[in-house]
Amino acid sequence: MIIELDSVYSFHQLGGRDNQEDSRYPDSDTIAIDCAAFAVCDGVGGCEKGEVASATVCRRIGKLVASHRNTDLFTDQDFRYLLTQCYSALDEVSDKTNRGMGTTLTFLAFHSGGVLAAHIGDSRIYQIRPNEGIIYRSEDHSLVNSLLRSGNISPDEVRNHPKGNVITRCMSATEKNRERDDATVVNLQDVAPGDYFLMCTDGVSGNTDDEGLIDIYSSDRTDEDKYMYLAERSKDSSDNNTAIQIHIGLVTIDPQRDDDEEEEEGSHPYFGTQRLLKKAESSHEISAVSPKPQSVFKSLFNRLFK
């Protein structure tokens, strides 16, 4: 599978905050269409130097994926290495002035086997098919989402819940007695020409619901107008707001690929948004390698990551 991009636009706005804690890779409003990997991070509110954490992770990702192309393969093991390196980068910059810093993560890699999508925290990834709906939406690692999934609150209570800003996972420097949080990862293969991928912080997702996004990306606006319209809707949010909008161009399928997998059409179990999702595209968790591997694993660690 070769996935070519038609356009990539991004915005990076201060919103209602006094300082910018969001970061992105690439750090540009207009991004070259030969770019094949992207990241959006949101420094965790309430933690010291969230902007340092988000910028550190995006910089390390940029160094690691600068040579990645859509014709290359990007595997779970590649992502595990990237995640480990990002946690190591946070350890490297950690000191007494920023020890509590943290950040969310969203990451996309377009590659010869599809699109690897990964996230930690409540920044979002969407795959939207115009006039059909949301094909994929990442599920927030948040207290509200946990309460929703357990049935303790209803969908109507989500938007204005008093604990709406509490997340259950983030990336932070290594602390004693605290494990590094896992990333939720999915490899998306149901990708079609005309699809949009949207990566955004909660300053954007909190101002535009699923139906609003479907309306925007099903409209006859140009790609530039779509991202500018979303930026305009987000600019007055109470938080920083950052997004990367990716429009899919040509998709070339390997003739050897089995395209007979069944698709299930239905509604999102919690939000009612129409979507199409292949059974094979279920999500899974990936952990970073421990910064202090036990001796039994040391040779494997050295072989993979040195």
pLDDT value at position 3? 98
What does DSSP assign to residue 187? E
Q: Measured between alpha carbons, how far is 151 from 215 in angstroms, rounded to an integer? A: 29
pLDDT value at position 261? 35
pLDDT value at position 179? 85
pLDDT value at position 299? 39
pLDDT value at position 258? 42
Q: Looking at residue 281, which CATH number applies to its domain?
A: 3.60.40.10
Three-class secondary structure of residue 115 per DSSP:
strand
Token readout for 247 is 């429009």
- Is 203:237 a contact under the CB 8 Å cutoff? yes
CA angle, corner 35, sides to 34 and 41, nearest 5?
A: 160
Question: Where in the sequence is the domain holding 17, given as residue range(s)?
Answer: 2-305
Beta bridge partners of 183: 286
Q: In what order do the strands lie in the sheet with 183-188?
A: 22-25, 37-42, 105-111, 114-120, 183-188, 284-286
pLDDT value at position 156? 60
Beta bridge partners of 277: 264
pLDDT value at position 67? 96
pLDDT value at position 178? 76
- Is 17:236 a contact under the CB 8 Å cutoff? no
Q: Measured between alpha carbons, how far is 41 from 170 in angstroms, rounded to an integer? A: 10
pLDDT value at position 271? 30
In order along its 306 residues, the chain shows pLDDT tens digits of: 999 999 999 999 999 998 999 999 999 999 999 999 999 999 996 566 899 999 999 999 999 999 999 999 999 999 999 999 999 999 999 988 887 899 999 999 999 999 999 999 999 999 999 999 999 999 999 887 667 666 666 566 566 655 556 899 999 998 776 789 999 999 999 999 999 999 999 999 999 999 999 999 999 999 999 999 999 999 989 999 999 999 999 999 876 544 433 333 333 332 333 334 343 467 899 999 876 544 333 433 344 444
Number of domains in the chain: 1
Q: Measured between alpha carbons, how far is 85 from 93 in angstroms, rounded to an integer? A: 13
List the beta strands (DSSP E) in the chain: 2-13, 22-25, 37-42, 102-103, 105-111, 114-120, 124-129, 133-137, 171-172, 183-188, 196-200, 241-252, 263-267, 274-278, 284-286
Residues 42-92: pLDDT tens digits?
999 656 689 999 999 999 999 999 999 999 999 999 999 999 999 999 999
pLDDT value at position 170? 95
